Amino acid sequence: MDDPKIKKVGVIEGYDQWVKTYDSEDNPLIFLVEENLGELLGAVKGQKIIELGCGTGRNLVQILNLGAQFVLGFDISDGMLARARAKLNPKFSKLLLQDMQSTWPVQDESFDVVLESLALEHLANVDFFFQEAHRVLKPGGKALLFEIHPIFHRQGKAAHYDDENGTKSQLPSFHHSVEDYHQSAIQAGLKLENLWEFNGREQSKSAKLELYKDTPVLISLLLKKDNRNS
């Protein structure tokens, strides 16, 4: 039975509210992404990068600081995009109100990297995401994903925030196993290059992360599109 203390909110309504605290709260998953993004992404100098579900733009800011040439972010929450717009230089970035479940308005083979972080749990089916990622990547390009770990999700954890009245608000969240991600990626033509798991013993500025000691909380997948010549 549903917990009456937890309010259910839609994705757009939820993120339009959550944006008020998103960049300041201690959220172990968000912090782990921020702390590991640069290393897992590798060199981005001169590259074109697209992030689906870019939220407040915190990842895109970091990527531009690492030397990327241009970043494009899509999100369905106006509130999150407004925060991102305030942070990013429009000379090197573009932000669009766009549902990633509809055809992405970008040309085939136009990006070096597709980034996605903590947004796929809101999609019932992830096949289309991987198909579009494959389409927009240049040959040899890569996709880097960060998601709530399926084990953590099975324990009842999902995207949520406390609203201004202190009420816990829960967003729609769907379970995806590692195999779900991998199968969708393979069918779209992407190859798994690497996979990382993060648990509560990682070094992090998140004080809350310690609560989860040996529980895998976050998973990251690095996928590659074949180089035509390889």
Binding site for ligand SAM (CB under 6 A): 11, 15, 30, 33, 53-55, 58-59, 74-77, 80, 99-101, 117-119, 122, 159
Name which of 101 and 170 has its Cβ closer to ligand SAM: 101
CA 155, CA 149: separation in Å to the nearest integer? 10
CA 167, CA 6: separation in Å to the nearest integer? 7
Cβ 204 to ligand SAM, closest distance in Å? Answer: 15
Name which of 63 and 228 has its Cβ closer to ligand SAM: 63
Name which of 23 and 226 has its Cβ closer to ligand SAM: 23
Cβ 210 to ligand SAM, closest distance in Å? Answer: 21
Cβ 22 to ligand SAM, closest distance in Å? Answer: 7
The stretches of the chain forming alpha helices (DSSP H) are 11-22, 28-41, 58-65, 78-87, 127-136, 150-154, 178-188
CA 225, CA 222: separation in Å to the nearest integer? 10
Cβ 99 to ligand SAM, closest distance in Å? Answer: 4
Backbone torsions φ then ψ of 211, nearest 5 degrees:
-65, -20
Strands 168-170 and 190-199: unpaired
Contact 74/52 with Cβ under 8 angstroms?
A: yes
Cβ 150 to ligand SAM, closest distance in Å? Answer: 16
Supply 227's token pair. 């180089």
Name which of 76 and 190 has its Cβ closer to ligand SAM: 76
Residue nearest to ligand SAM (CB): 55
Using the 8-state DSSP alphabet, how is residue 99 labeled? Answer: -
Name which of 75 and 112 has its Cβ closer to ligand SAM: 75
CA 166, CA 58: separation in Å to the nearest integer? 25
Cβ 229 to ligand SAM, closest distance in Å? Answer: 32
Cβ 174 to ligand SAM, closest distance in Å? Answer: 11
Name which of 48 and 58 has its Cβ closer to ligand SAM: 58
Name which of 85 and 226 has its Cβ closer to ligand SAM: 85
The stretches of 73-230 forming alpha helices (DSSP H) are 78-87, 127-136, 150-154, 178-188
CA 218, CA 96: separation in Å to the nearest integer? 27
